[in-house]
């Protein structure tokens, strides 16, 4: 090969000829080989497709190098980097698989996730059913006062009973306090019950300012508009939901600031069930937790981690001073708020408008929302479907090679640095040696483990809204069932896999790399 040229481009463009040296591969005196493997050819093709050859690089180098990438990407999506472009490509692949016909011999988890995608995409059926499935649910709980007007009866209503019913139906039970299962910071092999402040319908820093804040006002307008879509007269909704909003504003005021929450040690107050009952007697703690954990039961020696005893004390006071009607309006507004996206197009459009007003990135494309719904509600099944179709053994080997290279370089750097004392260096080297690696999670390819995970999930020809509730309940049950399970491996593949991530993830707490 002469030093004259071996150009990557075949073109008569004058500007390219002027800058020929930028694109030439010149013969190396000591190495006469040029990479022609499939990987190199594909990489070269990708580079060339992204270039804008109509531009003189001396005039606009960045347009010359990336012009076509920008032109081909921006017109249909907010893609501005190769990383995001890769993620968009993966999303399109999994949407394609989810939209395939369900096969009779397909495994149950894959049938369910495809059914979810199809029920989400079936707008005609969703519109045909209208608000009926949701209104039926509200009726079974005693009704939403703003809808029932003077016919709502507070007899028998308690906020705790409403939380039990919502939990068993598939809704969050965290409207008054967050109830979850966590991992012990001091003993990573055990789990505990955690009580925290309630996540609210709007960020507390905005909500605490009420209607004087533009986001608070947008939130209130959203409440009124949704109530109107249910057939409530505007004037009636204004009075009822203003009281509900004010109640939620008080929640925001008694919540801890984010700055205070940064210090984990200040958010750790271990208590037993007897301590809670003594300090906050108006809340039936044992009954509450037993119904949340059903079929598990709370034990007298169980340790509950309370992030803020003051919040629970303020919550008691707030509840004791708030009429039942206001409590009920708040509860069923929160349930309505999370249900809107699964109902009619009018409801969904109003939600998208609201989220845009408060600067939340939202998905207006139906297929994007349906794909996200599958990933959220059936994470394991969706990832397994993707891995089996697109992540072959060869890719797994390549990623292993990359990670092993990272491990070797890390060890080499630690062995040669001179700014670290010997004790610290030995600890760092030992940590590098003990780093665990999880690639593509082989569990996702294991039929026995996959089917065992979804063993207790049975779905039929439910509408989209009802199916989502059933899946929510299944996922909550799964999380709560872990309370009595000892953590055998510090890296739980169910909680940690990131198959659709385009990057590797290093977890400091677990000393692990995941891909």
H, E, C per residue of 464-488: HHHHHHHHHHHHHHHHHHHHHCCCC
Q: Are 501 and 425 in contact (CB under 8 A)?
A: no
Q: How far apart are CA 404 and CA 430, in angstroms?
A: 16
- Output Rg (C-alpha) for the chain, integer angstroms: 28
- Nearest Cα residue to 467 out of 126, 135, 119: 119
Q: How far apart are CA 227 and CA 132, in angstroms?
A: 15
Q: How far apart are CA 359 and CA 361, in angstroms?
A: 6
**pLDDT at position 279:** 96
**pLDDT at position 326:** 98
Q: What is the pLDDT of residues 359-403, one digit of tens each?
A: 887 767 899 999 999 999 999 999 889 888 887 666 667 777 777
User: What letter would DSSP give residue 461?
Assistant: S
CA torsion through residues 288, 289, 292, 297, sign:
negative
**What values do phi and psi take at 365, rounded to 5?**
-75, 130
Q: How far apart are CA 11 and CA 8, in angstroms?
A: 10
Q: What is the pLDDT of residues 201-248, one digit of tens each?
A: 999 999 999 999 999 999 999 999 999 999 999 999 998 999 999 999
Q: What is the pLDDT of residues 121-155, one digit of tens each?
A: 999 999 999 999 999 999 999 999 999 999 999 99
Mean of pLDDT over the chain: 82
Q: Are 213 and 326 in contact (CB under 8 A)?
A: no
Q: What is the pLDDT of residues 47-81, one digit of tens each?
A: 888 888 888 889 888 888 888 876 665 455 554 56
CA torsion through residues 27, 31, 33, 37, sign:
negative
Q: What is the pLDDT of residues 167-190, one digit of tens each?
A: 999 999 999 999 999 876 666 667
Burial class (CB in 10 A: 0-12, 13-18, 19+), 193: buried
**pLDDT at position 495:** 58
Domains in the chain: ranges and CATH: 14-75 (no CATH), 131-342 (1.10.1380.10)
Ordered DSSP codes for 271-318? E-HHHHHHHSTTS-HHHHHHHHHTTS---TT--EEES-HHHHHHHHHH
Tokens representing residue 14 in the block: 């004058």
How many helices (H) and strands (E) the chain has is answered by 26, 7
**pLDDT at position 19:** 39
* Residue 170 CA neighbour count, 13 Å, CB half: 17
Q: Are 510 and 490 in contact (CB under 8 A)?
A: yes
Task: Reply yes or no on whether the pLDDT at 503 is more than 50.
Answer: no
């Amino acid at each position: 090969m002469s030093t004259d040229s071996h150009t990557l481009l075949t073109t008569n463009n004058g500007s390219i000829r002027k800058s020929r040296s930028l694109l030439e591969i010149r013969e190396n005196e000591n190495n006469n080989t040029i990479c022609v493997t499939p990987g190199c050819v594909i990489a070269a093709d990708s580079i060339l497709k992204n270039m804008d050859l109509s531009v003189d690089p001396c005039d606009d180098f960045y347009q010359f190098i990336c012009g076509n990438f920008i032109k081909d990407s921006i017109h249909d999506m907010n893609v501005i980097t190769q990383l995001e472009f890769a993620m968009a490509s993966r999303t399109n692949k999994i949407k394609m698989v989810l939209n395939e016909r369900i096969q009779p011999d397909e495994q149950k988890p894959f049938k369910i996730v495809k059914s979810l995608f199809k029920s989400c995409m079936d707008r005609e059926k969703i519109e045909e059913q209208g608000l009926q499935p949701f209104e039926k649910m509200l009726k079974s709980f005693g009704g939403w006062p703003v809808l029932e007007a003077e016919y709502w009866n507070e007899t028998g209503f308690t906020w705790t009973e409403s939380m039990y019913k919502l939990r068993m139906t598939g809704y969050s039970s965290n409207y008054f306090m967050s109830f979850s299962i966590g991992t012990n910071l001091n003993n990573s092999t055990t789990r505990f019950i955690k009580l925290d402040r309630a996540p609210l319908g709007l960020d507390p820093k905005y909500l605490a300012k009420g209607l004087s804040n533009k986001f608070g006002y947008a939130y209130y307008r959203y409440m009124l508009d949704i109530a109107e879509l249910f057939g409530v007269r505007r004037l009636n909704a204004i009075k009822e939901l203003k009281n509900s909003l004010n109640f939620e504003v008080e929640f925001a005021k008694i919540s801890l600031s984010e700055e205070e929450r940064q210090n984990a040690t200040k958010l750790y107050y271990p208590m037993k069930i007897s301590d809670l009952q003594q300090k906050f007697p108006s809340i039936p703690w044992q009954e509450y937790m037993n119904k949340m954990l059903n079929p598990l039961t709370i034990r007298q020696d169980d340790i509950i981690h309370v992030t803020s005893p003051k919040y629970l004390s303020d919550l008691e006071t707030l509840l004791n001073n708030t009429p039942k009607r206001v409590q009920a309006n708040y509860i069923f507004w929160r349930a309505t708020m999370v249900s809107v996206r699964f109902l009619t197009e009018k409801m969904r459009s109003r939600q998208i408008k609201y989220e845009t007003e408060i600067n939340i990135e939202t998905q207006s494309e139906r297929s994007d929302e349906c794909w996200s719904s599958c990933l959220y509600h059936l994470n394991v099944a969706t990832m397994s479907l993707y891995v089996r179709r697109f992540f072959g053994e060869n890719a797994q080997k390549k990623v292993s090679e990359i990670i092993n290279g990272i491990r070797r370089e890390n060890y080499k750097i630690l062995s040669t640095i001179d700014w670290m004392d010997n004790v610290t260096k030995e600890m760092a080297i030992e940590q590098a040696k003990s780093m665990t690696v999880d690639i593509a999670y082989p569990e996702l390819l294991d039929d026995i483990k996959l089917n065992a995970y979804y063993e207790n999930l049975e779905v039929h020809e439910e509408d989209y809204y009802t199916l989502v509730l059933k899946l929510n309940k299944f996922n909550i049950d799964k999380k709560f069932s872990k309370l009595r399970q000892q953590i055998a491996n510090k890296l739980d593949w169910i909680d940690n896999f990131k198959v659709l991530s385009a990057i590797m993830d290093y977890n400091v707490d677990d000393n692990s790399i995941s891909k």
